[in-house]
Structure 1
Protein backbone atom coordinates (compact mmCIF):
# COMPACT_ATOMS: atom_id res chain seq x y z
CA UNK A 1 0.00 0.00 0.00
CA UNK A 2 1.40 3.40 -1.00
CA UNK A 3 0.82 5.90 1.81
CA UNK A 4 2.83 9.14 1.85
CA UNK A 5 3.28 12.05 4.26
CA UNK A 6 0.48 14.56 3.78
CA UNK A 7 -2.09 11.97 2.64
CA UNK A 8 -5.52 11.89 4.25
CA UNK A 9 -6.86 8.45 5.21
CA UNK A 10 -10.32 7.31 6.33
CA UNK A 11 -10.28 4.47 8.85
CA UNK A 12 -12.97 1.84 9.45
CA UNK A 13 -13.51 2.79 13.11
CA UNK A 14 -14.04 6.34 14.27
CA UNK A 15 -12.05 8.20 16.90
CA UNK A 16 -13.95 8.98 20.14
CA UNK A 17 -14.31 12.61 18.94
CA UNK A 18 -16.43 11.30 16.03
CA UNK A 19 -13.97 11.79 13.15
CA UNK A 20 -12.81 8.97 10.86
CA UNK A 21 -10.33 11.10 8.88
CA UNK A 22 -6.62 11.26 9.73
CA UNK A 23 -3.61 13.07 8.25
CA UNK A 24 -0.32 11.18 7.81
CA UNK A 25 2.53 13.11 9.48
CA UNK A 26 5.26 10.42 9.34
CA UNK A 27 5.65 7.19 7.41
CA UNK A 28 7.96 4.19 7.66
CA UNK A 29 7.70 1.06 9.79
CA UNK A 30 5.40 3.13 12.05
CA UNK A 31 3.06 5.93 11.08
CA UNK A 32 2.22 9.11 12.98
CA UNK A 33 -1.39 10.13 12.36
CA UNK A 34 -3.22 13.32 13.35
CA UNK A 35 -6.98 13.25 13.88
CA UNK A 36 -8.72 15.88 11.74
CA UNK A 37 -11.49 16.28 14.31
CA UNK A 38 -9.61 17.03 17.53
CA UNK A 39 -5.92 17.14 16.56
CA UNK A 40 -4.88 14.12 18.67
CA UNK A 41 -1.73 12.40 17.37
CA UNK A 42 -1.04 8.66 17.50
CA UNK A 43 1.73 6.29 16.43
CA UNK A 44 0.53 3.08 14.77
CA UNK A 45 2.39 0.14 13.22
CA UNK A 46 2.26 -0.17 9.42
CA UNK A 47 0.61 -3.60 9.60
CA UNK A 48 -2.22 -2.33 11.83
CA UNK A 49 -2.77 0.80 9.75
CA UNK A 50 -2.96 -1.08 6.45
CA UNK A 51 -5.55 -3.40 7.98
CA UNK A 52 -7.73 -0.57 9.33
CA UNK A 53 -7.74 1.80 6.31
CA UNK A 54 -11.05 2.12 4.48
CA UNK A 55 -9.78 4.56 1.79
CA UNK A 56 -7.05 7.05 0.96
CA UNK A 57 -8.51 10.49 0.26
Structure 2
Protein backbone atom coordinates (compact mmCIF):
# COMPACT_ATOMS: atom_id res chain seq x y z
CA UNK A 1 0.00 0.00 0.00
CA UNK A 2 1.16 3.53 -0.56
CA UNK A 3 0.82 6.91 1.07
CA UNK A 4 2.47 9.54 -1.07
CA UNK A 5 5.90 8.01 -1.37
CA UNK A 6 5.61 5.71 1.69
CA UNK A 7 4.87 2.05 0.93
CA UNK A 8 3.79 -0.04 3.89
CA UNK A 9 2.77 -3.65 4.27
CA UNK A 10 1.90 -6.34 6.76
CA UNK A 11 4.35 -6.77 9.69
CA UNK A 12 6.12 -3.45 9.01
CA UNK A 13 7.10 -1.40 12.05
CA UNK A 14 6.09 2.24 11.54
CA UNK A 15 6.33 5.54 13.36
CA UNK A 16 3.24 7.74 13.62
CA UNK A 17 3.01 11.48 14.20
CA UNK A 18 1.49 10.91 17.64
CA UNK A 19 2.88 8.43 20.13
CA UNK A 20 1.02 5.98 22.35
CA UNK A 21 0.21 7.07 25.94
CA UNK A 22 2.67 4.43 27.22
CA UNK A 23 5.48 6.56 25.75
CA UNK A 24 6.39 4.46 22.70
CA UNK A 25 6.00 5.51 19.08
CA UNK A 26 6.72 2.21 17.30
CA UNK A 27 3.77 0.31 15.88
CA UNK A 28 3.63 -3.02 14.04
CA UNK A 29 1.02 -3.41 11.30
CA UNK A 30 -0.83 -6.66 12.06
CA UNK A 31 -3.88 -6.26 9.77
CA UNK A 32 -4.51 -4.47 6.48
CA UNK A 33 -7.91 -3.71 4.99
CA UNK A 34 -10.33 -0.80 5.15
CA UNK A 35 -9.09 -0.47 8.72
CA UNK A 36 -5.51 -1.04 9.84
CA UNK A 37 -4.75 -2.81 13.11
CA UNK A 38 -1.57 -1.67 14.83
CA UNK A 39 0.18 -3.22 17.82
CA UNK A 40 2.26 -1.06 20.17
CA UNK A 41 5.79 -2.45 20.33
CA UNK A 42 6.21 -1.33 23.96
CA UNK A 43 3.06 -2.39 25.84
CA UNK A 44 1.44 -4.78 23.32
CA UNK A 45 -1.90 -2.97 23.13
CA UNK A 46 -3.55 -3.01 19.70
CA UNK A 47 -5.65 -0.31 18.06
CA UNK A 48 -7.82 -0.25 14.94
CA UNK A 49 -7.48 2.87 12.78
CA UNK A 50 -9.36 3.67 9.55
CA UNK A 51 -6.99 3.59 6.55
CA UNK A 52 -7.52 7.26 5.66
CA UNK A 53 -6.64 8.37 9.19
CA UNK A 54 -3.59 6.05 9.22
CA UNK A 55 -2.39 7.49 5.89
CA UNK A 56 -2.46 10.99 7.41
CA UNK A 57 -0.70 9.90 10.62
CA UNK A 58 2.16 7.75 9.29
CA UNK A 59 5.56 9.41 9.48
CA UNK A 60 8.04 6.73 8.37
CA UNK A 61 8.74 3.02 8.20
CA UNK A 62 11.27 1.88 10.80
CA UNK A 63 11.65 -1.71 9.55
CA UNK A 64 10.08 -3.84 6.83
CA UNK A 65 8.36 -7.01 7.95
CA UNK A 66 8.38 -10.38 6.24
CA UNK A 67 5.18 -11.91 4.88
CA UNK A 68 5.59 -15.28 6.65
CA UNK A 69 5.49 -13.84 10.20
Superposition deviation, residue 31 in structure 1? 0.5
Partner of 1:35: 40
Structure 1 unpaired stretches of 5+:
none
Q: Distance in 1 between matches of 2:32 and 2:22?
A: 24
List 4+ stretches of structure 1 deviating above 6 A: none
**Greater Rg by CA:** 2
- Aligned residue pair count: 57
- Structure 2 unmatched runs, 5+: 63-69
Q: What's the TM-score once normalised by structure 1's chain length? A: 0.93
Which whole-Å CA distance do the structure 2 matches of 1:45 and 1:26 have between them? 11
Contact residue 3 and residue 27 of structure 1 kept, 8 A? no
Normalised to the residue count of structure 2, the TM-score between the two structures is 0.78
